[in-house]
Amino acid sequence: MTASERPDFSGKRAVVTGGAGFVGSHLVDALLAAGCARVAVVDNFFLGKMENIDQAAEQQDRFHLYREDAGERTAMEAVIGAEKPDIVFNLATKALLYSFFNPAGACSVNLDIALILADLLRGGAYDRLVHVSTSEVYGSAVRTPMDEDHPMLAETTYAAGKAAADLALASYVNQYDINVTTVRPFNNYGPRQNDGALAAIVPLTIKRILNGDKPVIQGDGLQTRDFVYVQDTVDGLMRFAKCDDARGGVFNLASGRETTIKAIVEGVSEALGYDGEIDWQPGRTADVRRHLAGVDKAKALIGDVAPTGLEDGLSKTVEWYRSRNRR
Ligand SMILES: NC(=O)c1ccc[n+]([C@@H]2O[C@H](COP(=O)([O-])OP(=O)(O)OC[C@H]3O[C@@H](n4cnc5c(N)ncnc54)[C@H](O)[C@@H]3O)[C@@H](O)[C@H]2O)c1
């Protein structure tokens, strides 16, 4: 799907929690491009960056930034009261790797924000919530492909908090029939992904090679993930947001292709023309072994998902980091 085929959001008012982050900022740009009358971001800048929303901020009359903690009920009541959105996209979270530093905090932030948004929705403060969960709720695959009924075997407290949020929202849907769609993206990569502390494998590898360091692989490199290019995730989120049949549902959003971490490091190396050594390090204490999404449920509702191939996506991503370095 191309940007021109994205759903029309003309006249809609949206709030994006975590909108200064990697995925959130691309969603904000896409919502503005799709005609939203107003897009408001709630971000506490835990990992978000102003540069991610520079482009959006140029649209002064249609964009507003709230530097707030989405886990504070009074702040969210004030934002939603002021913005009167039709839809809220919930992407705020503290990165998975943060759960190795502050396990309880990484867990609770995910649940707290979901509960606040559910209560505000129940009270009629807005119409629809698209809640962004994660494939991490499944833990390592006990069967592949992993469909939405795969057991939730969270291996980190980050994932446990996400799983708790998903369960809580499903209960709200059951008890109060609120309009929630839960989407579980698998591993995203693309421009603007954090390459500093807590960085994920793609930006980390790009940064190391561009800095003249060896790329690192933790463990044997044969652990797998289902990688999805960020624009494909944004397309999917927007199509779910416009799909009435997605109400109350839980959907994977991924490529349906399984890739090893070793292949990712090799792919990035090739895109950067690096043929040097890899720095092999011990595996993480908690690291899912296999991830491969079942995407039939998503496809049945919104059509083709994640059309961008890995080579194409990695090449666009590498080019973005290169040009950022030049700037
Ligand atoms: N990147 C991936 O591979 C991936 C995969 C699956 C699911 N997801 C989900 O997508 C969403 C976005 O992920 P991302 O990769 O863009 O992460 P990110 O860290 O780049 O973005 C998260 C944003 O949330 C903000 N934030 C953190 N705590 C907050 C709080 N209490 N209040 C307000 N803002 C807060 C951060 O500052 C950041 O800007 C997350 O919910 C994540 O779980 C991401």
* pLDDT of 9: 98
Please give the distance, rounded to the nearest whole angstrom, from the Cα atom of residue 92 to the centre of ligand 1. Answer: 5
Q: pLDDT digit string (tens) for 65-110?
A: 999 999 999 999 999 999 999 999 999 999 998 999 999 999 999 9
- The percent of residues in the chain predicted with pLDDT above 70, rounded, is 98
Give me the chain's average pLDDT, please: 95
CA nearest ligand 1 atom 8, residue: 134
Residue 199, classed as helix, strand or coil, is coil
Q: Does 24 sit in the ligand 1 pocket, CB within 6 Å?
A: yes
Please give the distance, rounded to the nearest whole angstrom, from the Cα atom of residue 130 to the centre of ligand 1. Answer: 14
Ramachandran quadrant class, 182 (left: phi over 0; alpha: psi -120 to 50; beta: rest): beta
Structural domains present in the chain: 93-326 (3.40.50.720)
Mean pLDDT of 306-310: 96
* pLDDT of 4: 47
Mean pLDDT of 28-39: 98
Q: What is the dihedral of CA 72, 75, 78, 80, to 10 degrees?
A: -60
Q: Does 22 sit in the ligand 1 pocket, CB within 6 Å?
A: yes
Q: Does 46 sit in the ligand 1 pocket, CB within 6 Å?
A: yes
pLDDT > 90? residue 286: no
Q: How confident is the model at residue 283 (pLDDT cuts 50, 70, 90)?
A: confident
93-110 burial, b for 16+ CB within 10 Å, e for fewer?
bbbbebbeeeeeebbbbb
Q: pLDDT digit string (tens) for 54-65?
A: 999 999 999 999
93, 117, 295: which to mutate for ligand 1, most atoms within 8 A of CB? 93
CA nearest ligand 1 atom 10, residue: 91
> Crossing angle of helices 310-326/201-210, nearest 10°?
50
Residue 42 CA, closest ligand 1 atom number:
33
Interatomic CA distance for residues 65 and 63, integer angstroms: 7
* pLDDT of 248: 98
pLDDT > 90? residue 125: yes
Q: Does 47 sit in the ligand 1 pocket, CB within 6 Å?
A: yes
Please give the distance, rounded to the nearest whole angstrom, from the Cα atom of residue 98 to the centre of ligand 1. Answer: 12
pTM of the model: 0.96
Local structure of residue 276 (DSSP, 8 states): S
Please give the distance, rounded to the nearest whole angstrom, from the Cα atom of residue 277 to the centre of ligand 1. Answer: 32
Q: How confident is the model at residue 3 (pLDDT cuts 50, 70, 90)?
A: very low
* pLDDT of 1: 46
In 3D space, the residue among 270, 264, 262, 276 whose CA is nearest the CA of residue 219 turns out to be 262
Tokens of 6: 């994205």
Please give the distance, rounded to the nearest whole angstrom, from the Cα atom of residue 147 to the centre of ligand 1. Answer: 23
279-281/128-132 β-pairing: unpaired
Q: Does 18 sit in the ligand 1 pocket, CB within 6 Å?
A: yes
In 3D space, the residue among 122, 114, 106, 196 whose CA is nearest the CA of residue 156 turns out to be 106
Residue 52 CA, closest ligand 1 atom number:
39
* pLDDT of 284: 82
Q: Does 232 sit in the ligand 1 pocket, CB within 6 Å?
A: no
Interatomic CA distance for residues 276 and 215, integer angstroms: 9
Q: pLDDT digit string (tens) for 144-171?
A: 999 999 999 999 999 999 999 999 999 9
